[in-house]
Chains A and B, each alone.
Chain A
Amino acid sequence: MWLLFLNSLKGIKKKRLQMIGLTFLILISTAVYTTMNSALDRMDSMSEQYMEEQNVEHMTILLNETNILTRENIADMFNEKLSSWKDIVLPEVVVTDEMLEKYDQDALQEMRDAIIESGVPEFMVETILKQQIGKILAGSSYLLGIVDGTYPADDLNTYIFYGCSSKAKNESTNFDPNLPYSKFCPINPGTSTSSETPGEVPGDDECADDSGTSTNASTNIAKLYENFSSMTNNNSYGVDKYEYLTPIMEELSQTYDFTYVLKANKVLTYSVDGDDQNYAASIMVYDANLPVNTPYLIEGKEPINDNEITVALPFANSNNIELNSYFEVAGKQYKVVGLAYAPDYIYPAVSFNTPLYDVKRHTVIYTNQATYNDFSGKEEKYYAAKFNNYDGSYTDETLQDLVKPVRKDSRVLYVLSTATISPRISMFTEEVKNNRVFTSYFMYVLLTIAIFIIIMVMKKRIDDERLQIGVLKSLGYNTYMIAAGYLVYPIVGSIIGGILGYGLGVVLQGPVVNLYKSFYNIPINDFFFDAKYLLLSLVIPLISLSLLSYLVALFMLRHRPLKLLREGSNLKVNFMTKIVTKLTSPLKFKSRFRLSLASRSLGKLLVITLCSFCTGLLIVLTLIGSTMMNKMIDKTFAGASYDYQVTYSSIVDPTIIDGYDENHDNEDLITTSDLTLYQIIRKNGTVEVLDKTRSVTVNGIDESLNLLKITNSDGDDISYKLFEDNNQEDVDNIVINDTIRTLLHVEIGDTLILSKRVDIDGNVQCSNDKKYLIVDINETFSGLNSYVDKGSITKYLGYSDQSYNMIYTDELKPIYDETNSNISSVFRYDDLKKNISIAIEMANYSIYIIIAFAGAMALIIISVVSNIVVDENKKHISLMKVMGYKEKEIKSVVLNIYTPFVLIAYLLSIPAMKGILRFIISLVARDLDFSVPIELSLQGALIGLIVIMAAYFIALGMSRRALNRVSLAEALKRE
């Protein structure tokens, strides 16, 4: 058996090109495998330890303030500022005996007993009782008036509403006139919503039985919610709500066994001389003793003194900042005394305006408390928590099990967990995980291609040596022994390719790590030799390729010796060739000959066609991806000629604000609200109830817009359509975006039925329906976004026409300062555009690399196949030379046989990839509410075609040498 192997080994020289191609494929697969895994190991091996040592949070918690703050809390927070509640005169309610009969009789009796106990004579009891009930009813009537909009949802009424509807401690009563709310709140204990122990909040999103009767009720309650949140954040009240929230966190930490901190950071955007793009920083107080998210000092010292700061290492490197030098932030000089990472900002996305990390312009800054206080910038506070007795990984599924009960606790509004998705932390861990999966699959793909090459080479050799094989079988060699001789190809290829690939991988892991280092703020281990990758680089290809090759060889060698020994047994014509011969009989000789040659070997034809198809798929995928990103960005920003989007935390109604004199010339005032879409009336009248309701953002706009342009796919302005008469009563017009159209398969002429739904302590209150007729589609792709006539939405929600809660502007006025409590956020579109453009540019480079790679793969495979074709047809080539054909003519009939197949395969790959992408996007978009344009421009298609055909003809060019070497004497040799 060894001799047969030796014979094959010595014969490799004749299969040089094929062996080079094979070895190269294995080399690339193992190089990429080693590179990525070594790099990821360096990052990964430190990350868990780093996150553990720096006590990185397991979750960010936002508390359900409306469920937590008691009446006493609210009184403490607002009573002084809103003491005029006492001056409110309630309308008198005269209580009759009939009214008493409808009241809760047990509660009435309790009240009677209390009155008697207070010493009131018996004959006065009923009178006093009726007075008390009258007061209660008067108070309740006032509350109802707040809810239905009779009384405005201003700060005072918000205070009263929350004073009555918030959780009450058991010991508080409502009849002490010195306590707030006593004259407003209903007394019935059965209606108290306090709970001893937190439990699950009902998740039912069906409308409550008693909802839907009043549009105003639910919208007014929503306004009250918004206003309460604004009040608790409003500096003018001097309120520190965390004084009241922290005890609840303390209870939660005892219940669920975690440690927590109240994290505060300021997000500051500032400009730097010489750079047209803004910088952004997340500023925090350095506290080495923080039990959660402890800062990590890389170099230098802590910023103890005023005006001392630390910055992140990549930022320092990009801006050439040295230790103890000065750096200007927002016009002030600070001394950089250290380099530090915030462990919960591994991927430091520091602001909404700049969602993609820019190494040069984004950083976390640590400083001392005094300097922190001096910094401007919008402050955010939240609780960061870490479980005490959890030893698992940060991305382990078991962490989810710990987080779930916290999330369901009625005192908790929102939990962002590393176990699910916390971009600053889990983006890194997800990237590591995904990259490992990618490199493994990449290796398998390349090895699969390698198998095809081995099969082709083996088949050629077995065909060439069939007589020798026949003799060996005659002599008594069995198929297994003979097949082993052909393992030389996978063995040699795997050993050489594996070792070289590993070496290359070790070299390349350094630059890859540096790339990651610049991107992720996390300490990274030095390179360490791991024999595992050397072993796997050898073992995986060796075993997989050898095993598969052996099985294929056994199949190819299955024939009996006599069959192999018969002359011309290799010249059998397959059925495909017979069919092709018949079909191509009307064609010219050259075409017939080419097609006949191509169809002679179905295996090679299949390999070439599949290779071209797969290369085409890869190229088309990358080109569509590039188009997709560029188009999404173009379309998203096409209608936005404004520089800033200012969002308010609550509705601004100029008609009810005393002394309102803001000038909004050349700005666009928008009223935006999320409504629930639950039904569609199709053009043909069919009513469709959605099995899953969708939250649609409805943006109410004015007829004349200054900065916003709403366009369709042709680029035409379509906003005017919102104000046209559709001749339907109680139906207004709506322009939806592409995501709504794609997800819900709606079109122009369909009618959407929406409602406003507000979840109050698990009871979903629904307003009346609002119908909108789709009049056009706006080509944007993020979220379920739509535009309507502003008047239609403000009226529906119970606001005045002039109300707004969002502004598009070119000028960042002082009133738009993010530190204003009424302002929720300020989106700097310019920063966002530039930030995304940089990311797109980098992505485009990677696209070129992928295309080049796909082309190289195609080149290798086609070269190998063409070389085999020349080898197989030596006799024909020689005969044609003997007959007098020129080399050019011979080349055109022997080498160019696969041209139509390559072309057709590539052309087929375009609709195939589009179909695959559409299917994938439809699955993904269903849950994530987004759609993407899947298009390939003519230019893109041509680029792909050029790449494929270039690879094809280069490969043929390389095989031409082999063709030229075929001698005339070849024709004289016996088969």
Chain B
Amino acid sequence: MSTPIIEPRSALQIFRNNLLAAPRRLLDAMFRSGKPTTDRTRSTFVFGNVFLHLHSVRTHRWNLRWTTTMGLGIATTAAFLITLVTGVLLMFYYKPYPDAAYDSIKDIHFVVPTGRFIRNIHRWAANVMVVAVILHMARTFYTAAYRRPREFNWLIGMGLFVITLGLSFTGYLLPWDQLAYWAITIGANIAQSPREVTDALNITDWFDPGGFQKLLLLGSDVVGDEALIRFYLLHVMILPLALVALMAVHFWRIRKDGGLVRPVDADARLESSKEETYPVFTEAPKKTYQLAAIVKGKTPVVGRGPENTVPSMPHLFYAELAVLMLTTLICIGLSLLSDAPLKELANPAVPENPAKAPWYFLGLQEMVAFSAFMGGIGIPSIVIIGLGLIPFLDREEQGTGEWFGGAGGWPLVKQAMVVGFGASILIEAFVIRFGWLREWFPHVPQLVITLINPGTVLTLVYALYSVWLVRRYNSTRAGALGLFTVFLCGFIVLTIIGTYFRGPNWEFFWSPADWPKH
């Protein structure tokens, strides 16, 4: 301020002084706790802010280590925020009607300033989100972060995973090109696949969950106007709202569970910090403390002071922002280099051959090639139920918070990787080279193939291996470690085969150069 404040002698001078002081007053009104320079002001900075108070006020140093979480949860959230922002921008121009959708995407690509760039970011961030959520789930599993008291958060996370895949799948249809149309046709037919079982049992006439599911998904018998508007609604409103709601619960749960998972001896293992940890309390507190109120009962932090915690402002926020920016950099970099695909306008008369689902479903599609029901619904259900049961079956305490913690550890995981990759490659190689039951028994009923196909055989092999591990190590965690690892490896192998080695009529080719031309 260049003009000094004069001692006011009149209301006009008061007015002048007030006007000059207005900017500072505005800042003070917005940030009432002032600059976060002391522990107290840092605390109020967090819990006094509607957006930030989902965070805890103090964060344990163990949780800020990169190797604890690799920032994958934040990376997933960052990718979601990027898709959200770019998605809203795209909504200004996209038209969700079959006659207009494809052309509106072309307009976005060619005419809207940086439209091509924004659309690419949206597509890449969506892919990054799916990859990150899978890696995050793996990290959470391997650090046994689903154990008590975090079981329900694991389930919430599974819900978030399914919604993420749903968001990606519903968005896939929107460009209304050949890729989109036929991928969703496959998805809808997978939804209809219970008919494989009801047809074989001859009960479809009065019990047809398959047909119902497909009708529910498409709003019609065919992929058309109704399907597009339905998918659009799911993609821009219903699923994002559900995701945000579950994310709020997910993050809140982390708070209530006492922060991210830590080994019991985390404090001892932390090196002394160069920075700002110092004894906060002179003696250990004897009662619970919550900043909001005094209540009866215990919180998880009873008995421990906030030693080895640092104020979330700025330590946690620097970590989160760093991951956010890194994810943004990766998404933007990929977008400048590689265009989001757009094939010809959807043509119901000309099927793509091969018609492929989005990449994260290609492992499923590989199994669907044998049995639509098992590959599309049966095995995914088994997997989801299995994943959901993990926190309730493994109630051991050894190794919580450690990478590959628990009986068996890293050596077991290594062995499981060999089994996982090996079994899936072996069975795929067998079926590609020799074929399956119909080769030798042309009239075998479909129900037999539904029950006995490479997917179910592989699942059985994996399950037996896991049971063997439980007995060998006398530990449910060992079984869980093995089972998760083999399924992850099987998923990777099937996805790779479905992506790169399947050509027209879903036949095996070593390279796209070998695909037959029409």
User: Do A and B associate with each other?
Assistant: no
Residues on A facing B (Cβ under 8 Å): none
Residues on B facing A (Cβ under 8 Å): none
